[in-house]
Structure 1
Amino acid sequence: MSEYQVKKLRRTDKGRIVAGVCSGVGEFVGIDANVVRIALAILTLFGGLGIGIYAIGWLLIPDEKHETSILQDLVSKQQQRRSATDWSGEHKPQP
C-alpha cells in the first residue's frame, strides 16, 4: 500500500514576513508567497478587503508548530473558564 501525505494549511516560519499567512497559503497552493502578497495588497487598495482576509487567515490558520489556531485556543480557554464557574457565578478552584 502506498503512503499518502496530506497537505495541511499552516502559517509557516519559512518566508514569514508578518504572521506567515501568505507564505503558508503559497506553500499550500503551490505558488510563490509573493503572488499571494501582491493579491492581498491589491485587494487592500481596492476597498481594504486584503487586510480583513489576512486577519481572518491569521486567526483561523494554525501555526506550523501548533495543532490549533489562535481562534481555537481562545474558544477553548473561554470554555474552560465557563466550566470552572458554577451556576452561582462563583469561580471554582482548578484541580
Structure 2
Amino acid sequence: MTAPASRRLTRDTQHKVIAGVCAGLARRLGLSRNGLRLAFVVSCVLPGPQFIAYVALWVVMPRDDRR
C-alpha cells in the first residue's frame, strides 16, 4: 500500500529552483516553499553539513512524476 502523492516525500519538479528538494520538503510538511528556501539559505551561514544534506536528499528523494 502506498501513501497518497501529497503525503509522500518526493522532489517537486514543477516548483523547483535547483533540484526541488526544498519544494518537496515544504509540500510534505505543509510549509511555504519560499520560506523553507530562505531558511535553508540563512542556515548556510551556520556551521554544519547543510550542503551535504541537500545533496544527499537530492540523491535519495525520488522525483515527483506529476506533470
TM-score (norm 2): 0.77
Aligned to 2:38: 38
1:20-59 matches, cutoff 5 A: 20-47=20-47, 49-59=49-59
For 2:48 and 2:38, the matched residues in 1 are separated by 13
Measured after TM superposition, the shift of residue 27 of structure 1 is 0.5
Measured after TM superposition, the shift of residue 48 of structure 1 is 5.0
One-letter amino acid of the structure 2 residue matched with residue 8 of structure 1: R
Q: Number of paired residues?
A: 61
Measured after TM superposition, the shift of residue 56 of structure 1 is 1.3
Compute the RMSD of aligned alpha carbons: 1.5
Measured after TM superposition, the shift of residue 21 of structure 1 is 0.2
Gaps spanning 5+ residues in structure 2: where? none
Higher helix residue share = 1
Question: Which stretches of structure 1, 4 residues or longer, exceed 4 Å deviation after superposition?
Answer: none
Measured after TM superposition, the shift of residue 18 of structure 1 is 0.5
Q: 1:28-85: per-residue Cα shift (whole Å, max 9, x none)?
A: 10111112112211221112532122111101111012xxxxxxxxxxxxxxxxxxxx
Gaps spanning 5+ residues in structure 1: where? 66-95
TM-score (norm 1): 0.57
For 1:53 and 1:44, the matched residues in 2 are separated by 11
